[in-house]
Amino acid sequence: MSHFQPVARVPGDPILGLMDAYRADPSPAKLDLGVGVYKDAQGRTPIMQAVKHAEQRLLTSETTKSYTSGHGDAAFGDLLLQLVLGQDSPLLAGQRAGTTQTPGGTGALRLTADFLSHCLPGRGIWLSDPTWPIHETIFAEAGLKVGHYPYVGADNRLDVAAMLAALEQVPSGDVVLLHACCHNPTGFDLSHDDWRQVLEVVRRRELLPLIDFAYQGFGDGLEDDAWAVRLFAAELPELLITSSCSKNFGLYRERTGALIVCAADHDKLLDVRSQLASLARNLWSTPPAHGAAVVATILGDAALRTEWQSELDLMRDRVLRLRLGLVEALQPFGLAERFAHIAAQRGMFSYTGLSPEQVRRLRDESSVYMVGSGRANVAGLDEQRLGELAAAIARVC
Ligand code: LMR
């Protein structure tokens, strides 16, 4: 008897699978606009200098490889809390917020999903349509009922009115997942005024917000990108935030992230945190240490922090330049207006508006790789080859 006989093969992950397909493509002209990693002018995903310097320090200063706690590295937790909520946040003084370190932002989402299904059973979760595909599966896998609110209209434009109308219909008590900035996959972010309106619906409908904050510093800057998170934290008694250090510290493979809980008071925070430690114990026991130690070293040292911030600023500026450059390169093909939204979007991604068929043709005919939904990782563009890409796009439009 074969025990594995009933096991069927499932398709590979569409985003990670693109990395493999790209690596296997022998074309020297290939272009990887798939998975969300930053690339420099040479097409490399570099280790940040601040990270290298922190690692050099850790090499000599680290004294143990014993387990961290269920909530991870305490220094990392405190410093990340300040980065996300702001040093002067009253939540810190009131001890109303706490960090649980997780393996990447994905781990934070997974822990959130388990927390909701164990501790708040029966709550549905509402995701933007579209959203990061793993949002869809992670909450469904944990047994939550997943619903959607519209985000982008058929014209590939942000549709806040439709979003607000849908949120008005969400059952009281349900969870609504919002992207703090650099919306994945569209790149369309809410304005401050839009956020205030969302806050009012969330408050009126007594919804529990979960803000996914995977790109702090990649949109308009570390502080600006945290604006909505801080607004919600100031205005609401309870909030869940998933934070990632993959992109802003370039620590992708170190799996460094956190679930931040804001509770009405310290005592309730401790209740929630006791559950999170218990749930995490059954998922990964204690989180991986290295990335968190790097982040804590950088954020805890004025010189390293300055170095890191200026590297992050350069990355963000480069992505913004690439956005403008691509729209400009599309001008000679009469496509600048059609793709003008690329310059207005923020973060790594652009929902280009290209159809799955056009994406397939770009890949087959020009070795340009992007996600089938038409999502392009702008941070993967090559400044010297924007004309080439524009010509490839023109051929399929
Ligand atoms: C992406 O959306 O490309 C990134 O967040 C990487 C991933 O894990 O999918």
> What spacing in Å lies between the alpha carbon of 39 and ligand 1's midpoint?
14
> What spacing in Å lies between the alpha carbon of 36 and ligand 1's midpoint?
5
What DSSP letter does each residue of 118-132 carry, written as one string? HHSTT--EEEEES--
> What spacing in Å lies between the alpha carbon of 204 and ligand 1's midpoint?
33
Distance CA(44)–CA(38), nearest Å, equals 8
Distance CA(373)–CA(356), nearest Å, equals 6
Q: Using CA positions, which residue lies closest to atom 1 of ligand 1?
A: 36
* 67-300, CATH topology level: Aspartate Aminotransferase; domain 2 (3.40.640)
Q: What is the pTM of this model?
A: 0.96
Q: Using CA positions, which residue lies closest to atom 4 of ligand 1?
A: 36
Q: Using CA positions, which residue lies closest to atom 5 of ligand 1?
A: 36
Nearest to 248 by CA among 110, 73, 81, 51: 51
Do the domains spanning 14-47+310-396 and 67-300 agree at the CATH topology level? no
Nearest to 45 by CA among 69, 14, 13, 19: 19
Distance CA(154)–CA(238), nearest Å, equals 34
Contact (CB, 8 A) for 230 and 216? no
Residue 191, Cβ neighbours under 10 Å: how many? 11
What DSSP letter does each residue of 50-89 carry, written as one string? HHHHHHHHHHHH-------BTTB-HHHHHHHHHHHH-TT-
Residue 52 annotated in active site: no
CATH superfamily of this structure's domain 14-47+310-396 = Aspartate Aminotransferase, domain 1 (3.90.1150.10)
Give whole-number Cα distances, 358 to 36, 131, 197, 280, 394, in Å.
Answer: 20, 21, 36, 42, 10
Distance CA(277)–CA(69), nearest Å, equals 9
> What spacing in Å lies between the alpha carbon of 134 and ligand 1's midpoint?
8
> What spacing in Å lies between the alpha carbon of 185 and ligand 1's midpoint?
9
Q: Helix, strand or coil for residue 147?
A: strand
Substitution candidate for ligand 1 out of 13, 15, 216 with most atoms within 8 A of CB = 15
Q: Which of 174, 212, 225, 308 is catalytic?
A: 212
Q: Using CA positions, which residue lies closest to atom 6 of ligand 1?
A: 36
Q: Where are the alpha helices (DSSP H) in 205-265?
A: 222-225, 227-235
Contact (CB, 8 A) for 240 and 96? no
> What spacing in Å lies between the alpha carbon of 132 and ligand 1's midpoint?
8
Residue 126 annotated in active site: no
Ligand 1 surroundings by CB, under 6 angstroms = 15, 35-36, 132, 184
Q: Using CA positions, which residue lies closest to atom 2 of ligand 1?
A: 36
Give the model's pLDDT for residue 14. 87
Give the amino acid at 342: I
Distance CA(280)–CA(96), nearest Å, equals 20
Domain boundaries, given as residue ranges, for the chain: 14-47+310-396, 67-300
DSSP letter assigned to residue 7: P
Substitution candidate for ligand 1 out of 19, 32, 35, 242 with most atoms within 8 A of CB = 35
Which region, left, alpha or beta, applies to residue 263 given φ > 0 means left and ψ of -120 to 50 means alpha?
beta
Q: Which residue has the tokens 């990693």?
A: 37
Q: Which of 189, 195, 247, 308 is catalytic?
A: 247
Residue 227 annotated in active site: no
Distance CA(277)–CA(92), nearest Å, equals 20
E-state strands within 230-270: 239-244, 257-262
What are the 10-residue block averages of pLDDT along the chain, 397 residues in total?
95 89 93 94 94 98 95 98 97 98 98 98 97 97 97 94 98 98 97 98 98 97 98 98 98 98 98 98 97 98 98 97 97 96 95 96 96 94 94 97
> What spacing in Å lies between the alpha carbon of 203 and ligand 1's midpoint?
30
Q: Which of 126, 132, 195, 308 is catalytic?
A: 132
Q: Which atom of ligand 1 is nearest to the CA of 13?
A: 9
Contact (CB, 8 A) for 178 and 202? no
